Amino acid sequence: MRKAILLVLFIGFLIGCQKVPLTGRRQLALVPNSQLLPLSFNNYKEVLDTSRVVRSGDQAAMIKRVGSRLQSAIEDYMRANNLSSRLEGFAWEFNLIQSPEVNAWCMPGGKVAFYTGIIPICQNEAGVATVMGHEIAHAIAEHGNERMSEGLVANGLLQGGQLALGVMSQGQRSQTNALLLQAAGVALPLGYQLGRALPHSRKQESEADQLGLIFMAMAGYNPNEAVGFWQRMAQASGGNKPPEFLSTHPSDTRRIRDIQAQLPEAQKYYRAR
């Protein structure tokens, strides 16, 4: 079984390997957007249908304004660098959800959800841009596709080196949706989680930090503001986090240190508005 998984992974890297914009990291991306984006859009709609979406007011307007600026800057950059194909099928949305949850996310295809619970920590529009730039970076870097591809391989949901999305059982479809929604994979054996899933997720989080800094700078938000936001996030968590090797995110100390090191590069893209 292990040899079969390794063989599929090797074949996958030969036919489904691509590079992340700006960082150049090679990644596995086996799920075509023709299959991934409909799943993403349906799941996003289900979340909105079962949530209290804030349709008006200053906060909702701010979320849409920041999203629009990021979208425009990213599209301009991708167009200028012959990378527009990475955005094919994107249908951007920026919605604010009434919830005490301190969270925000972006599904493949540019579907952003921002929770009211994180806005006090953002404090201002630059803080919102920090969070949203990071979350959009996951979509631009196709981290969801990458995690789904590896999860599908690990869970035997590939057949003969080809995606089996069209012939999955109901249980397999639920498992695939969980891969997409959770972004960190399904409940895999602990050895896999510690040895592959969690470290790889931390790598993606750090990559999203790096790209997010550049994206917010492109959109006219000072990337220096990101340091203050992550410091506030660390304070808000109260230090109640698992050890880094058991977490899908870098430690607060490492994240802030890495962001500070990346600021000079991000500043090259910054043009104040």
| Annotated domain spans of the chain | 2-267
pTM over 0.85: no
**C-alpha span between 201 and 164 (Å, rounded):** 24
Please indicate whether residue 135 is annotated as part of the active site. Answer: yes
The one-digit pLDDT tens for each residue of the chain (273 residues) are 455 544 444 444 444 567 887 877 887 777 788 888 998 899 899 999 999 999 999 999 999 999 999 999 999 999 999 999 889 999 999 999 999 999 999 999 999 999 999 999 999 999 999 999 999 999 998 888 788 777 666 665 554 444 545 544 454 455 555 555 554 332 334 444 444 444 457 788 888 999 999 999 999 999 999 999 999 998 987 756 644 443 456 678 888 999 999 999 999 999 876
Q: Counting Cβ atoms within 10 Å, is residue 177 exposed (0-12), middle (13-18) or buried (19+)?
A: middle
Name the catalytic one among 75, 88, 101, 135.
135
Instruction: Find out if CATH 3.30.70 is the number for domain 2-267.
Output: no
Q: How far is CA 244 from CA 61, 134, 170, 250, in A?
A: 36, 19, 35, 6
